[in-house]
Amino acid sequence: MILNFILAFFLQVMPVGIVNISGANTASSTNYLSVKSGYVMSYDGIIGRANWVAWTLSNSDLGPVPRSNKFIQDDTFPPSFYKIDESDYKYTGYDRGHLCNSEDRTSSSFLNKETFLMSNMLPQTPELNRGPWERLESYCRKLAKRGQKLVIYAGAIGAKDALGSTKMPIPKYCWKVVYTSDKVWCILYPNEKTLNPNWKTYAIPLTQLKKMTGYKFP
C-alpha cells in the first residue's frame, strides 16, 4: 500500500516550469497524467485523445538530430485505455498533427522519437497542421534560439466527426498557449481547411480559453 502510494507520487512529479493545469493524475481514465522524458500529457483513455500536452523549450533542446518520422503506439497507458494506431489516419484526409512537435526535440534521438508517439497526435487538417500551426512552432524555436526559455501548452476542444472507423473525435478547435519572457500568446485555431496563414489572427484572451477548457493556466 505504502509502496503504491510512493510510486504514484513519483509518477506524477512535474518537470520544472510545467503546471498541471487540469489536475491530471494516474487514477483517472479521462484525465490521466503521463510524464514523458520530453513533455507532459493529460490523456483521455475513453476517447483515445490527449486533453493537453505541455513542454519547455530552450536553445539546448534544439540540435542536429534528424526527424524520426516513425509513428509508434504509446504502450505506457493502462490496458483498458482506448488507443488508435497510425493506420487509423489513412484515407481520412487528416494529418497526424504533433502537439509537442518533433523539431522542438532535436537534441537527442530518443527525445525526437518520443514525439512520434500516437498519443501526441491530433487529427488536424493539412491546412492547419502545415499552415498557421507550423508557423507558430517556427516562431517559438526562433525565440528559443535567441536565448528565451518558453513554456508551451497545446490541446484540443470540441468534436466534429470521429476519425475514420475509430471513436476518437476530430477536434473542432486546436489551441496553444505560449509563455515567453515578456508575453503570453493564447491561440485558438479552427480545425478547418480555409485558414489565414498568419497565426496571430487567431489570438484570443487567455481568460477566454480558461473558461472554454476549465483549465487553470498559470
The rounded distance, in Å, linking the Cα atoms of 18 and 7 is 20
What burial letters (b/e) apply to 72-99, b meaning 16+ CB within 10 Å? eebeebeeebbbbeeebbeebebbbbbb
Q: Would residue 102 show up in a list of annotated catalytic residues for this protein?
A: no
Catalytic-labelled residue, pool 49, 98, 113, 176 = 98
Contact between 36 and 110 (Cβ < 8 Å): no
Amino acid identity, residue 80? Answer: S
Exposed, middle or buried, 212 (CB in 10 Å: 0-12/13-18/19+)?
A: middle
The DSSP bridge partners found for residue 54 are: 40, 153
From 147, 152, 146, select the one nearest 104 (Cα to Cα). Answer: 152
Active site residues: 98
